[in-house]
Amino acid sequence: MTGPIDTLRRMARLMVGMPDYDAYLRHMADHHPGARAMSRTEFSRDRQAARYGGRNGGRCC
Amino acid sequence: MIRHLPWLLTAIVGAVALWVVAVSRGESVNALWIVVAAVSCFLVAYRYYALFIARHVMALDPARPTPAIRRADGLDYVATDRTVLFGHHFAAIAGAGPLVGPVLAAQMGYLPGTLWIIAGVVLAGAVQDVMVLFISMRRDGKSLGELIRMEMGQVAGTIALVGAFMIMVIILAVLALIVVKALAESPWGMFTVAATVPLAVAMGAYTRWVRPGRIGEVSLLGLIGLLAAIVYGQSVAASPVWGPAFTFTPVQLCWILIGYGAVASVLPVWLLLAPRDYLSTFLKIGAIAALAIGIVIMAPALKMPAVTPFVNGNGPVWAGGLFPFLFITIACGAVSGFHALISSGTTPKLIASEAHAPLIGYGAMLMEAFVAIMALVGASILDPGIYFTMNSPAALIGTDPASAAAAVTAMGFPIAPDLIAQTARDVGEHTIISRAGGAPTLAVAMAEIFSHVVGGPAMKAFWYHFAILFEALFILTAVDAGTRAGRFMLQDLIALAVPSFKDGKGHAPGVIATALTVAAWGFFLYQGVTDPLGGVNTLWPVFGISNQMLAAIALMLGTAVLFRMKRARFAWVTALPTAWLLACTLTAGWLKLFSADPKVGFLAHATRFDSAATAGELLAPAKSMAQMRQIVFNDRIDAALVALFLAVVLALLVFTVRTCLAARRSPVPLAREIPLRGEAVA
């Protein structure tokens, strides 16, 4: 799971603002057992809205 | 001792390479010397200076929980692998800035720019980035404006926000101007860039409905579409029907961009912005990597002199002497205030351990400086005659190869009209004369380098348009995302006076703030496009001054925080670069306002045109009295803007000094960090 290819894949996704879905699921399982976690599709829509909501300053010149 | 040996060797290699770059005159110098000098300096600086800052100045504590641990939510706050986060941070800070500034700075030769990029990033730029990251990381990942408010007071925070918004406006105008300069009268370039809109919409639909969330897959499909658009663009440009349909004058393009900016920034993000962001981000990283590999394989010789006569001022690309104007022309790449917004944005919420801060804050900025070095190399491997033909205003060199060749030869850089015409043909353009803005020059250089590695001369036109597309694509993404960010900044600012303007109450505030933001950058874009001197000439220094002032503000925050932490004995780390940036920006700002030379000073320029207009004369390049009035008006707006920036930075200087003095008098640290254990600060 943590080979160089996987790291690159996660890096490429985070470069466009998409955090790790598995890490999100782990977080939900560890800290909010019983609560409903977002599906992968909901998760990516949620993160897309968060990245471009304008609150994060976007990117540099 | 033995562990220092490799670093000592690296330092020696760097010193030798720098020495070769600095003292060689007359004989041709290989560009790799610059690359080796830069990389060695960066490695040594990282190993010693970054770690000194981490261990002694900040006293980073790996055991201290970061926001990603304290507030983990799996969404905004996620402890992230440091390699992954490095890529994220680098992709967020690297944009058009480090590519354009060094190209423009090459008019003084490659040596001044190289030395400033290396010294500037090590002592100022990377220090700023890591310092802001550190401050934000210890305060729940708060943003720059909030940090200044917490440490220096409400008024200081609000002033900084006003400054940041104006800088955003100028950045958007300059970036859009670069796109205009690159796409005007270029049907091939225009077609490929226009094709990205339907392409992105198709990608957006794909990720929305067909295969949600498959970013890699859809990006690959998009990339194929892009390459097809570049190839097909050649036939479009050659077509008697479609060629003229995709040929636009700068003024037409200006209105197209303003309309695009207004529409794009209110569309749903998944439709256009997000998919194009995937393309532009991956293309940007890929093109930067390819450029590095290409330069190493080609090992080109530098054709630009180490130092040109234009160090004394009166250069054709931008006006003003080495000090202070070189240091504001190369902003991003050496030190960029805008990074303070990124280092206090998403990155501090994702960092897994304080120990990662030097790699991410300092290291990613070194990487950006390396990008700037490559851009400088790119501009310097071109024939200087071509460089000055492409970057001098049409008002100076005319618009046909014969007049341009004569004018550039008279500057001391001999070139034949045939070579100008041939270069334009090679890259598949009608003309390369007076295409300032950095992007076209860099595209010619990239075409030179890439075609050397892949495809030979026949591929030059393809690579040229590939490079233009790559630059235009991420600039358009920045315009779109920046308009959205500017809208929220403006809404927050207006809400300070009119509370009902906050987000959430109906659509009107959002629409008004968007319209105001677009109008603001659109105004400066239109002014730049219609500027007889080509616009870049006028706007880039204003952008450079504002960006470096924001950097000075961030470094002043760093200094104030060190004082408030009772670590004032280390405050020189941020105070020295602050002093240098203040010296450069205040001098440059002062000259832009009050220099008696109309080429440098906005007010002198306005007075000259104003008195001529009153006397009923027309001064070139104005062709009517209305244009004369327009020039005077633009000059005064620019002067007011520079005066505003000066006022902002001076006000924050006063707040910083007061904060530091108060911190010295206090017997206990005042810095408002999140305590090791306990609740968030108010």
Q: Do A56 and B215 touch (CB under 8 A)?
A: no
pLDDT at B679: 47
Residue B315 to residue B392: CA distance in whole angstroms: 9
Q: Is B200 on the interface with A (CB under 8 A)?
A: no
Tell which of B342, B346, B491, B492 to mutate to test the A interface (max A CBs under 10 Å): B346
pLDDT at A2: 67
| Mean pLDDT score, B40-52 | 98
Nearest-CB residue to A50 (from B76, B80, B93): B76
Q: Do B487 and A54 touch (CB under 8 A)?
A: yes
Q: Do B87 and A24 touch (CB under 8 A)?
A: no
What SS3 string covers B183-245?
Answer: HCCCHHHHHHHHHHHHHHHHHHHHHHHHCCCCHHHHHHHHHHHHHHHHHHHHHHHHCCCHHHH
Residues on A contacting B at a C-beta cutoff of 8 Å: 7, 9-21, 23-28, 31, 40-41, 43-61
Percent of chain B with pLDDT over 90: 83
| Mean pLDDT score, B148-163 | 93
pLDDT at B507: 80
Residues of A in Cβ contact (< 8 Å) with B97:
60-61
| pLDDT exceeds cutoff 90 at B395 | no
For B308, list phi and psi in degrees, rounded to 5. -100, 165
The DSSP bridge partners found for residue B351 are B80
Nearest-CB residue to B95 (from A23, A26, A60): A60
pLDDT at B485: 87
Nearest-CB residue to A19 (from B75, B274, B481): B75
Q: Do A7 and B73 touch (CB under 8 A)?
A: no
In angstroms, the separation between the Cα of residue A39 and the nearest Cα of chain B is 11
| pLDDT exceeds cutoff 90 at B508 | no
| pLDDT exceeds cutoff 90 at B26 | no
pLDDT at B18: 95
Q: Do B213 and A44 touch (CB under 8 A)?
A: yes
B681 pLDDT band (50/70/90 cuts)?
very low
pLDDT at B403: 96
pLDDT at B622: 83
Write the pLDDT tens digit of every residue in B254-276: 999 999 999 988 889 899 999 99
pLDDT at B492: 85
Asked whether the CA dihedral B326, B332, B334, B336 is positive or negative, the reply is positive
Nearest-CB residue to A52 (from B91, B273, B342): B273
Which of B53-67, B229-243, B421-435, B485-499 is predicted least confidently? B485-499
| pLDDT exceeds cutoff 60 at A61 | no
pLDDT at B504: 60
Q: Is B281 on the interface with A (CB under 8 A)?
A: yes
Whether the bond into B621 is cis, omega within 30 of 0? yes
Length of chain B equals 682
Write the pLDDT tens digit of every residue in B592-613: 999 999 989 999 999 999 999 9
Q: Do A9 and B216 touch (CB under 8 A)?
A: yes
For B513, list phi and psi in degrees, rounded to 5. -65, -40
Instruction: Find all residues with CB under 8 Å of B605, minimum gap 6, and list them.
Output: B598, B599, B631, B635
Q: Do A59 and B481 touch (CB under 8 A)?
A: yes
B680 pLDDT band (50/70/90 cuts)?
very low
| pLDDT exceeds cutoff 60 at B443 | yes
Round the average pLDDT of chain B to a whole number and report it.
Answer: 93
B682 pLDDT band (50/70/90 cuts)?
very low
Residue B540 to residue B579: CA distance in whole angstroms: 22
Residues of A in Cβ contact (< 8 Å) with B78:
19-20, 23-24, 27
What SS3 string covers B576-639?
Answer: HHHHHHHHHHHHHHHHHHHCCCCCCCHHHHHHHHHHHHHCCCCCCCCCCHHHHHHHHHHHHHHH
Which of A52-61, B435-444, B464-473, B617-626 is predicted least confidently? A52-61
Write the pLDDT tens digit of every residue in A15-50: 999 999 999 999 999 999 989 999 999 999 999 888
B437 pLDDT band (50/70/90 cuts)?
confident
Q: Do A60 and B487 touch (CB under 8 A)?
A: no
Which of B437-451, B537-551, B614-628 is predicted least confidently? B614-628
In the structure encoding, which two tokens stand for residue B340, read together? 């303070």
Write the pLDDT tens digit of every residue in B360-369: 999 999 999 9
The total of other beta-carbon atoms located within 10 Å of residue B26's CB is 7
For B301, list phi and psi in degrees, rounded to 5. -85, 150
pLDDT at B581: 97
The DSSP bridge partners found for residue B464 are none
| Mean pLDDT score, B537-549 | 92
Q: Is B285 on the interface with A (CB under 8 A)?
A: yes
| pLDDT exceeds cutoff 50 at B359 | yes
Residue A61 to residue B174: CA distance in whole angstroms: 9
Alpha carbons within 13 angstroms on the beta-carbon side of residue B581 total 36
| Mean pLDDT score, B575-583 | 98
Residues of A in Cβ contact (< 8 Å) with B547:
61
Given a contact cutoff of 8 angstroms between Cβ atoms, the answer to whether B87 and A15 are in contact is yes
Write the pLDDT tens digit of every residue in B272-320: 999 999 999 999 999 999 999 999 999 999 999 999 999 999 899 999 9
| pLDDT exceeds cutoff 70 at B474 | yes
B412 pLDDT band (50/70/90 cuts)?
very high
ipTM associated with this complex = 0.94
Write the pLDDT tens digit of every residue in B89-136: 999 999 888 999 999 999 999 999 999 999 999 999 999 999 999 999
Nearest-CB residue to B269 (from A10, A14, A49): A49
pLDDT at A58: 52
| Mean pLDDT score, B153-161 | 93
| pLDDT exceeds cutoff 60 at B678 | no
Q: Is B205 on the interface with A (CB under 8 A)?
A: no
In the structure encoding, which two tokens stand for residue B165, read together? 């918004």
Given a contact cutoff of 8 angstroms between Cβ atoms, the answer to whether B483 and B517 are in contact is yes
pLDDT at B534: 76
Q: Is B504 on the interface with A (CB under 8 A)?
A: no
Write the pLDDT tens digit of every residue in B77-87: 999 999 999 99
Query: The whole model's pTM is what?
Result: 0.96
Q: Which residue of B has its CA nearest to A49?
A: B269
Residue A34 falls in which region: left (phi positive, over 0), alpha (psi -120 to 50) or beta: left
pLDDT at A59: 58
Write the pLDDT tens digit of every residue in B139-149: 999 999 999 99
Residues of B in Cβ contact (< 8 Å) with A15:
87-88, 91, 281-282, 285
